[in-house]
A and B are shown apart, each in its own frame.
Chain A
Amino acid sequence: MNAQPSIADERTCVLAVPGMHCAGCMSKVERGLMDHDGVLAARVNLSSRMVTVTHDESVDEDDLTRFIADVGFEAQPRRNQAQKPYSAVKPLLAPLAVAAFAAMNVMLLSVSVWSGAEGSTRELFHWISALIALPAIGFAGRPFFKSAWGALRRGTTNMDVPISLGVIIAAALSLYETWVGGAHAWFDGALMLLTFLLAGRVLDAMMRDKARSGVEALVSQAARGAQVVGSDGALSYIPSEDLQPGMVMRVATGERLAADGEIISGRSAFDQSLLTGESEPVPLGTGEEALAGTLNLEAPVEVRVSSAGRDTTLAEIARLMEASTQDRSRYVRIADRAARLYAPAVHSLALLTVVGWLVAGASLYEALVIGVAVLIITCPCALGLAVPVAQVVASGALMRAGIMVKDGSAFERLASVDRALLDKTGTLTLGRPVPDAQALAMLSPEEAGIALALASHSRHPLSRAMEKALLTRGVAPATLADVAERAGDGVFATFKGRAVALKRPESGGTTAVLLKTGEGPDRLIPIADALRPDAREAIAALEGQGIECSILSGDGEKAVAGVAEQADLPAQANARPADKQALVAQLRASGRKVLMVGDGLNDGPALAAADASIAPGSASDVGLQAADFVFVQDSLSALPRTVRAARKTLQVVKQNFALAIIYNIFAVPLAIAGLVTPLIAAVAMSASSLLVVANSLRLARAAKYGAAK
């Protein structure tokens, strides 16, 4: 909106279209856009669910959003147009390509040496190998060297320390062997190791990129701001970060407030669920305080900004979250825990070998060569693949089941969970109003048609819910005349000369709409937030997995009690964001491993503080970003399924570690005895890596068979 490049008449615009998932969607969106004059080019990026549109000044972002809506997709302009999406894979691809190229060519030469090349031929081949391998190792090894150096400087160690040490020492020894015309060079082993490990890293990065772009597409990218009434009465759009206290915002129906403020004219009901979890709209009038992030439901109001930007209640929640996130980052991944034991063990073993051979009377050179062989053979090739490959395969399986994994270490954290806290609105329930199916079924086709036609003329959440429910029932809209929407009252029109209306019922109480057709009785259609399908089964499955569940909601006692009874769970109501976070902290302090399932902004701090967290795809931006897993389906069966996949993943990771250790038990004595040649090392390393990969592939079906058993 504000960051358009000002090239004469050609502009580009990036829109997020989360609904695209196949070739058909792609061509529909691209053609839907290209069919309009003013659109010069449209290119979909299916991986990131974005479309880049080149257009002239006759169309703007709103038009583009509408064009895409016409072909049946929801679209939102990206907030930071200029910012390129970050990719963790790209910086690793070049090192992988170089390592693979060098490994293949050096292996070619090594095979000739192994099959008996002698004398000057062998020397020539070693020199050529060195020429290829040394620069390649320098380039492709950088990701490992950098991370290892970082760990060493902090006085800790990680998997990259033994890897870097092994590779560097192998290269140095091989160069020396080449120089003196020795029989064995280890260039192929070092390069193969780098190739395998980089492949593991690339897979890991791919998984995270995919999940992140999936979540990014869900996160609403629309620029947030407000229409501000100037001193001369003119309206101008001001982004939320530029709002100042004292400005007057005009907030239309269906719009979210961009800042806290006092209502100076009009009265309306506000949906504060984003902040408090309270689903019932709160009526507010002149002189009362409205909070940033709340949704104006009924009538346009004018609000004088009292605090904006960093001072709003919204920003306070963001600060709570930051604190929680730091707390969790102290978690040590299983791979790094293994490395803490592994690295010192391997290095002292190598040292002991050298000392042992010296004592036994070998020359210093011989002893060193054998010590290096120990380092190379124990280089954690399989160990480096053990965790990433298992996680990649498992998250791929979950992705296909509609569950996005944002962080690999989340598997480890989720696997040990024994206590689950579930938010109510939007988590146990669908979080959107759904008209009562029975009441809809009682409508005659004509009544349903009138209701649909009326509902389609309003953007009120209840109308939208009616429209959606009726459309899925295959109702055809009736033709109406004189349609008028009266804010806060309903939609009115005439149908075949009769006055018809879809309006709020006269008596308060439950949420409902009243359909008047001017003929026959008025129809009252209750609209309520329904429990997710399979919620009870999913909770039973979670309990079956040894996870104690309870509801933790910001909603009032009464609303929570109803759902608690339906779901058959103990519940705590009236929990503010800080209370939720405190309860999570309290449970963790008492030794429980806590899983937080929530969607709202008010759940954000608790999601970040819990050992693991899951959010539905309909969650607020904050919820999506704070959660480890995001599931994009209505069914709650995603919860036990994710837990089950996480436990299986951890099991396979442990098996992989066991395989790597067994490999070492066989290989290390050979190395210590001085029997390992480069050929044996190459075979042993690739065999153990392949074994680990094969074992991990069993996880491909981890998410297949639904809940529990």
Chain B
Amino acid sequence: MNGVLFLLPIALFLGALGLAAFFWALRNNQFDDPEGAAARILIDDEEKDEDA
């Protein structure tokens, strides 16, 4: 029972953290272009991306 008192809030907190991260991503338009995000990883441009 004692362990549960610690573990439960921790589990809930971690879950809520994930949820918050998802909402943050949603607000920041991270889900606007899922296809582009999947394709972008294939573009290899080492020489110049520091300005992006």
Q: Which residues of A are in contact with B by a Cβ distance under 8 Å?
A: 22-24, 26-27, 41, 44-48, 89-90, 93-94, 97-98, 101, 104-105, 108, 121, 128, 132
Contacts and interface: CB of A to CB of B under 8 A. Distances in A.
A90 B39 contact: no
A45 B32 contact: yes
Contact of B23 (A22, A41, A97): A97
B33 A45 contact: yes
A90 B43 contact: no
Contact of B42 (A23, A41, A101, A104): A23
B9 to A, nearest CB: 10
Given A45-B36, A105-B12, A98 B19 contact: yes
Complex A-B, nearest 10 residue pairs according to Cβ-Cβ distance, in ascending order: A46-B36, A23-B42, A23-B39, A27-B43, A47-B35, A45-B33, A46-B35, A101-B19, A47-B33, A97-B22
14 contacts: A23-B43, A26-B36, A26-B39, A26-B40, A26-B43, A45-B32, A46-B36, A93-B31, A97-B19, A97-B22, A101-B16, A105-B12, A121-B1, A128-B8
Contacts of B32: 45, 47
Contacts of B31: 89-90, 93
A351 to B, nearest CB: 38
Interface in B1-52: 1, 4, 8, 11-12, 15-16, 18-19, 22-23, 26, 31-36, 39-43, 45, 52
Contacts of B43: 23-24, 26-27
Nearest to A40: B51
B33 A23 contact: no
Given A41-B52, A90-B26, 14 more contacts: A23-B42, A26-B39, A44-B36, A46-B33, A46-B36, A48-B33, A93-B26, A101-B15, A101-B18, A104-B15, A105-B12, A105-B15, A121-B1, A128-B8
Looking at B1, B34, B39, which has the most chain A CB atoms within 10 Å of its CB? B39
A27 B49 CA distance: 12
Interface of B: 1, 4, 8, 11-12, 15-16, 18-19, 22-23, 26, 31-36, 39-43, 45, 52
A97 B11 CA distance: 17
Given A94-B26, A104-B15, A105-B15, A121 B35 contact: no
A26 B19 CA distance: 31
A429 to B, nearest CB: 32
B19 to A, nearest CB: 5
A481 B4 CA distance: 88
A46 B23 contact: no
B35 to A, nearest CB: 4
A139 to B, nearest CB: 11
Contacts of A98: 19
Contacts of B35: 46-47
A22 B19 CA distance: 31
Nearest to B22: A97
A446 to B, nearest CB: 42
A101 B20 CA distance: 11
Contacts of A132: 12
Contacts of B41: 23
A97 B16 CA distance: 11
Interface centre among A45, A104, A121, A128 (most CB of B within 10 A): A45
A46 B36 CA distance: 5
A496 to B, nearest CB: 45
Contacts of A128: 8, 12
A648 to B, nearest CB: 26
A417 to B, nearest CB: 31
A67 to B, nearest CB: 18
Contacts of A41: 52
Contacts of A108: 11
A564 to B, nearest CB: 42
Contacts of B33: 45-48
